[in-house]
Structure 1
Amino acid sequence: MSTQPAPGQPRQPLDVKAVPFGDSALMVSVAADDDEARQAGSRRLREILLEVQPHGLLDVVAGVDSLLVEFDCLAISHDQLAQTVRLAAAGSGAGTAGHAHGSEHFVIPMVVNEAFAPDLADVATELGISPEAVLGHLEASVLSINLLASAMAPMMGRVQFPGQVSRCREPRTNVDAGSVMVAGTNAIIQPFPGPTGWKVIGRTPLTICDIRENPPTSYKPGDTVQFSVVPESEWEKLQGQFLRAARGQSAAAPASSATATEREN
């Protein structure tokens, strides 16, 4: 896998910050002017480290905009690994512009009804817009998967909401698999039934994580996602299908939620 920048694509060298995190780990981040640039830089740096495999490296755990780099403290020191990380980033030609190498795009259908979207009205009230407008903002946003959270849940930013969405005052003890949830300007999908404090505004009929598949998820940090509200009548046809990348499709604003609602009616 090449980590060289595309011809003609301007990039600023990654400004890598690495600080000790316990006896055998570094917390590594990329200095940048905005969140998206930091997140993109961290994703590219993770690619580089997994490709280069520095001596003593054990694992690279992705955070929202940082990396936890775990290593064998008997094989290499904090300072030695930090220097190796900086040299690997500099030698790769990676920088703070452009998309991650080999990223995929996903279009994820979601159904919205009273049972599947119990918090949609509350989110609309909080943002001062209609429920239809909430869905419209979601559909019009091209989201980037920043990290895989618990149970391989894809955590995505940023939804182009006109404000921040708060979390539930009382977390739910169980949310169905496929639930599409928002908090702040981030979105996440529940891969398996479980508790959450995020607000639920829809559900996808697709299976996004399946241990029978290899790998069990088709998405990774750096991939992009768009949601598309579909009629409830589509649920049975799509239910249980494994989520796969939208081959041959580029990221572009899909139909508005109002149009999707009209199709359902």
Structure 2
Amino acid sequence: MTTQTPPAANLSRAPGIEANPFGDSALMLGIADDDPEVRRAGARRLRDILLEVRPYGVLNLVAGAESLLVEFDCLAVSHGQLAQTIRLAVAGLGLEATGPVPGAKDFVIPMVVSEEFAPDLPGVAEELGLSQEATLEALASSVLTINLLAAAMAPMMAGVRFPGQVSRCAEPRTDVAAGSVMVAGTSAIIQPFPGPTGWKVIGRTPLTVCDIREDPATSYRPGDRVRFTVIPESQWAELEGQFLRPAPAADQQPAPQQEGGTHGSEA
């Protein structure tokens, strides 16, 4: 059965929220703002609100970097009704984040930087107008938030404190090693398994970030926080293949602060 899709202009929207029909049984939500960081934070907050409120008829939420797809039962609720429910929920709870995601974990991820493991680091540094050392310091001083799990459960993270945007590769690589730490824009991602990518590779972690022998296969989820730390290549063998786990309690952060950076090492 197909329900009539109301025009987008007729969908009620809270200030700053875009709610557009996506087929017969889904809404695409986003934040109307020029700042990509605001859009990303807003999308995360929308997901948290809908998980808390659980509007009638909603079947599934699919998070994007700057959007949220809400799948619903079109026999139970219409686009307009759901948009209105979401508007009321946001009006009551607010789009402003009230603190870290409940249960959010902190991760400190070691990475090795070498000519083999960081082939794009010189180009990224040049593009940003920084030295390679300053580029790595900008990454290490950032507290990144996992926005979503991309293909193959890759953690896509926002919040790298680069002074500008990093472009993608002009020609994507066809085979990038597992554990590769990659950047584009002011976001970062880790390659869980070998595969193609258009992101720029600036390091590699010896840890295994996704292991189907583990339950669950990843220890992270959207909302978790990540810091990177550069380690010498001599430590690679000691850490290689270890499953990524949250940082010890002493390294857990009470909130996603962006105050300074540290080159620590994972316990």
**TM-score tier (shorter):** 0.7 to 0.9
Alignment of 1:38-187 (within 5 A): 38-91=39-92, 93-97=93-97, 98-187=99-188
Do the aligned partners of 2:182 and 2:190 also contact (CA within 8 Å) in 1?
yes
TM-score (norm 1): 0.84
User: Structure 2 vs 1, CA of residues 127 and 34 (structure 1 numbering), >3 Å: closer, same or farther?
Assistant: closer
Structure 2 portions without partners, runs of 5+? 1-13
Q: Does 2:256 match 1:255?
A: no
Do the aligned partners of 1:180 and 1:204 also contact (CA within 8 Å) in 2?
yes
Q: Does 2:218 match 1:217?
A: yes
* 1:74 CA displacement: 1.9
* 1:163 CA displacement: 2.0
1:104-160 CA distances to partner (integer Å, 9 max, x unpaired)?
A: 221110011111111111112222222111111111111121221111111112211
* 1:206 CA displacement: 0.8
SS in 2 for 1:255: coil
* 1:20 CA displacement: 1.0
Runs of at least 4 residues of structure 1 off by over 6 A? Answer: none
Q: Does 2:229 match 1:228?
A: yes
Do the aligned partners of 2:137 and 2:261 also contact (CA within 8 Å) in 1?
no
What letter corresponds to residue 66 of structure 2 in structure 1? D
* 1:90 CA displacement: 3.7
Do the aligned partners of 1:109 and 1:229 also contact (CA within 8 Å) in 2?
yes
* 1:31 CA displacement: 4.8
Q: 2:29 and 2:241 mapped to 1: Cα distance?
A: 38
What letter corresponds to residue 204 of structure 2 in structure 1? R
Q: 2:32 and 2:168 mapped to 1: Cα distance?
A: 29
1:56-78 CA distances to partner (integer Å, 9 max, x unpaired)?
A: 22210111122000112122211
User: Structure 2 vs 1, CA of residues 35 and 184 (structure 1 numbering), >3 Å: closer, same or farther?
Assistant: closer
Q: 2:29 and 2:100 mapped to 1: Cα distance?
A: 19
* 1:33 CA displacement: 7.2
Q: 1:34 and 1:99 mapped to 2: Cα distance?
A: 21
Aligned position for 2:197 = 196
TM-score (norm 2): 0.83
Instruction: Compute the RMSD of aligned alpha carbons.
Output: 2.2
Structure 1 portions without partners, runs of 5+? 1-12, 261-265
Q: 1:213 and 1:180 mapped to 2: Cα distance?
A: 22
